[in-house]
């Protein structure tokens, strides 16, 4: 075989492969293409919810047990996202309201009991005990912020008399941290503050204004001003993900944090929230032939791979953790184009198991599915809190 | 070579179908760091989950591209060699 004939065979072969890829990959994207319509989101939310409710109906606790083996945080976060999703659906679907409120109560009561009985470390990774918290008495913003958000959501939908005092105490404790800590932030782990957790706590405070009749808008304004001055990555201007109690930056902006942080900030400062989402979109969002995904780190910052990011897919640098949170962000900010692409990737690479009555993603876990559920049901709770005028329903059920 | 490629593609598809029928889909939870069914987190669970994922992507991504490549290549073989920088046999004979 001459050199030239070998070359023509090689060229033919490469061209054949190139054309095959160019035809098949977009076709695959079209085949798995998902609609990001309200009906489709609602359909998926309903199916996901059936699966999510199982452990709380005394059915399958194995799913939660399996998850706690990997990461006890996921057990806790799964509860938070489930409660928030139930709150949204209780507001959207009156026929589900009673059931959803009942499950919310089961989750909140069980979580408060576990918190009181076992302490905050029950929901934290083992390294929470390796060193003392800087602030005393020790408290985790991760646990306190999300628990407050769960209770605030419950009270916003339909207040429980017995939770009014509980919520007020928890909110006062959070506000005290924000007002007195040097970085206006609380630790989630010893000398580690996370924007994910602190923005969640701020969202809880803002949401609690509905049922407590309070107004923390001044605190929100001060926090945002402080964040702009101290918590933004120099290059991308996105919120960093973690920092010490005194303000030393630890990790830069990460996908598994920023989309949730931006979503939380919708209740704090919608303009700042939109800025953060748009920046995350710019630096972390990808869309290849209709398959959407998110990077964990921007091109400018090579951060570590951890349990929250999940295994990074090489070459494309896709992070399952960041991509899951991106679905929430895309839904919250009505970014239908990217949401469609993300849902396409979800259907292709997350191994959905759907039987007509329930849905779960085999490559995910309970918390991952709970994030998807929250994303697909997102809207009514935050809309309620964002209304310029609303009735404040006090604990005694009387409108004020 | 084409026969080999077609057999390879078909093997990918069959392998996935076998693993799917055996019910190994749930083991892909290992990709999220979550133990498999029954709390299994050992080598078997990890290997099974990874194998299922590889089989899936091979069946829906690699195999179709292989089949299409073979088909397209067959079509390209009908294109004159001069298009790929090589004289045809007739041209070579006449110099």
**Inter-chain CB proximity A365 and B64 less than 8 Å:** no
A395, part of any domain: no
- Nearest chain B residue to A306 by CA: give it: B33
What is d(CA B29, CA A361) in angstroms, rounded to the nearest whole number? 9
**Inter-chain CB proximity B84 and A310 less than 8 Å:** no
What proportion of chain A, given as a percentage, has pLDDT over 70?
89
A21, part of any domain: no
A11, part of any domain: no
A6, part of any domain: no
* DSSP strand pairing (A291-294 vs A352-354): unpaired
A4, part of any domain: no
**Inter-chain CB proximity A24 and B65 less than 8 Å:** yes
| A220, two tokens | 């929100």
| A149, two tokens | 């958000």
Confidence category of residue B77, pLDDT binned at 50, 70, 90: confident
Interface of A with B (CB under 8 A): 2, 4-5, 7-8, 11-13, 15-17, 19-21, 23-25, 28, 62, 65-67, 69-71, 307, 310-311, 320, 348, 351, 353, 362-365, 368
Quote the pLDDT of residue A393. Answer: 46
Count the domains in chain A.
1
Beta bridge pairs of residue A192:
A189
- Nearest chain A residue to B25 by CA: give it: A362
**Distance from the A302 Cα atom to the nearest Cα atom in chain B, whole angstroms:** 21
**Inter-chain CB proximity A20 and B65 less than 8 Å:** yes
CATH number at residue A242: 1.50.10.10
**Inter-chain CB proximity A5 and B86 less than 8 Å:** yes
**Inter-chain CB proximity A66 and B29 less than 8 Å:** yes
CB-CB contact of A185 with A198 (8 Å): yes
Strand order in the sheet with A242-243: A193-194, A242-243, A249-251
> Which residues of chain B lie closer than 8 angstroms to A16, CB-CB?
69-70, 72-73, 76
CB-CB contact of A131 with A191 (8 Å): yes
Sign of the CA dihedral A87, A64, A320, A202?
positive
Helix (H, G, I), strand (E, B) or coil at A393: strand
Q: Where are the beta strands (DSSP E) in chain A?
A: 193-194, 242-243, 249-251, 285-288, 291-294, 352-354, 359-361
Residues A76-124: tens digit of each pLDDT: 999 999 999 999 999 999 999 999 999 999 999 999 999 999 999 999 9
Residues A196-237: tens digit of each pLDDT: 999 999 999 999 999 999 999 999 999 999 999 999 999 999
Residues A151-185: tens digit of each pLDDT: 999 999 999 999 999 999 999 999 999 999 999 99
Q: How long, in residues, is chain A? A: 400
pTM of the model: 0.90
A248, part of any domain: yes
Domain span at A269: 34-382
What is d(CA A144, CA A172) in angstroms, rounded to the nearest whole number? 11
- Nearest chain A residue to B82 by CA: give it: A8
- C-alpha distances in angstroms, A32 versus A223, A287, B14, B32? 42, 14, 21, 21
């Amino acid at each position: 075989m001459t050199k030239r004939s070998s070359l023509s065979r090689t060229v033919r072969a490469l061209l054949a492969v190139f054309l095959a890829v160019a035809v098949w990959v977009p076709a695959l994207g079209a085949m798995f293409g998902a609609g990001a319509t309200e009906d489709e989101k609602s359909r998926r939310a309903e199916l996901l919810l059936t699966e999510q409710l199982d452990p709380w109906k005394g059915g399958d606790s194995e799913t939660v047990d399996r998850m706690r083996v990997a990461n006890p945080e996921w057990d806790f976060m799964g509860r938070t996202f489930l409660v928030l999703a139930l709150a949204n659906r209780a507001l959207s679907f009156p026929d589900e309201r009673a059931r959803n409120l009942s499950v919310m109560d089961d989750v909140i009561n069980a979580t408060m009991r576990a918190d009181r009985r076992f302490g905050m470390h029950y929901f934290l990774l083992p390294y929470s005990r390796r060193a003392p918290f800087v602030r005393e008495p020790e408290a985790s913003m991760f646990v306190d912020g999300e628990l407050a958000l769960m209770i605030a959501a419950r009270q916003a939908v339909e207040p429980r008399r017995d939770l009014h005092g509980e919520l007020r105490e928890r909110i006062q404790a959070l506000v005290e941290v924000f007002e007195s800590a040097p970085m206006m932030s609380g630790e989630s782990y010893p000398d580690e503050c996370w924007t994910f957790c602190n923005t969640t706590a701020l969202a809880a405070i803002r949401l609690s204004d509905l049922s407590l009749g309070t107004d923390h808008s001044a605190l929100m304004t001060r926090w945002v001003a402080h964040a702009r001055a101290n918590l933004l990555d120099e290059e991308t201007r996105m919120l960093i993900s973690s920092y010490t109690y005194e303000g030393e930056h630890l990790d830069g902006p990460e996908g598994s944090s920023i989309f949730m942080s931006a979503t939380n900030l919708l209740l704090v400062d919608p303009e700042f929230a939109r800025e953060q989402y748009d920046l995350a979109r710019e630096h972390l969002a990808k869309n290849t032939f209709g398959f959407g995904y998110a990077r964990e780190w921007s091109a400018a910052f090579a951060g570590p791979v951890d349990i929250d990011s999940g295994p990074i897919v090489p070459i494309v640098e896709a992070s399952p953790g960041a991509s899951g949170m991106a679905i929430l962000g895309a839904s919250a900010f009505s970014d239908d184009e990217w949401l469609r692409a993300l849902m396409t990737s979800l259907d292709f690479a997350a191994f959905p198991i759907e039987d007509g009555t329930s849905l779960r993603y085999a490559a995910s876990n309970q918390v991952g599915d709970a994030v998807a559920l929250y994303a697909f049901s997102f809207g009514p709770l935050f809309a309620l809190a964002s209304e310029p005028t609303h009735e404040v329903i006090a604990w005694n059920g009387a409108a004020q | 070579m084409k026969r080999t490629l077609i057999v390879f593609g078909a093997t990918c598809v069959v392998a996935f179908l076998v693993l799917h029928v055996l019910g190994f889909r749930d083991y892909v939870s290992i990709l999220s760091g979550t133990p498999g069914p029954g709390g299994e987190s050992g080598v078997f669970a990890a290997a099974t989950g990874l194998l299922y994922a590889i089989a899936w992507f091979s069946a829906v991504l690699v195999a179709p591209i292989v089949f299409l490549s073979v088909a397209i290549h067959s079509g390209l073989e009908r294109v004159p060699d001069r298009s790929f920088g090589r004289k045809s046999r007739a041209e070579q004979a006449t110099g």
